Amino acid sequence: MWSALWSWEAWSEPQLVSSVPYALLKYDLLYDGTNGNLVMSVDTVDNSTNANGNELLRINYQNGKWGELAQLTSDQVPDDNPQTAFDAKGKLVLTWLSDSQVNGVVNFGMSNRQLVLTNDYSSNLGDFALASGIDGAVALL
């Protein structure tokens, strides 16, 4: 994966973010002008017929440098469609589909996950979107 920054006049030289050793399924990038977080759903078993190997990985961006890959989930259910937003207090909200549940955490506190919604799995449930307004209000659609 590569990244480049737009400076209102030109793109920076691309820099290598990371070599992700798995098939990338979906991702979301949240950047505040200084720091960023890239959260990805990847197929950790390289077998697209086994969705139970879909896990979330994260790479953070601070002080102009990308960090190391960090695994956020490790379970036997599909983890997919990561969505990120800042809330009214500037905290990072992450939501994702975990099997037939939409879960949410604040500031990557994965041990404090909250159940947002549960339903039978459907393509509509898998394609939810998270958005935040100028005032920090967060909505899930």
User: Using CB atoms within 10 A of its CB, is residue 99 exposed (0-12), middle (13-18) or buried (19+)?
Assistant: middle
Number of structural domains the chain divides into:
1
Question: Tokens 């994702």 map to which residue?
Answer: 96
Is 124 exposed, middle or buried, given 0-12, 13-18 or 19+ CB atoms closer than 10 A? exposed
Asked if residues 49 and 30 have their Cβ atoms less than 8 Å apart, the reply is no
| Distance between CA atoms of residues 74 and 56, nearest Å | 8
- What pTM, to 2 d.p., does this model score? 0.88
Give the structural domain span for 21. Answer: 2-140
Q: Determine the average pLDDT of the residues in 21-29.
A: 91
Give residue-wise pLDDT tens across range 49-79: 777 789 999 999 998 899 999 999 999 888 9
Rounded to whole angstroms, how far apart are CA atoms 86 and 75? 26
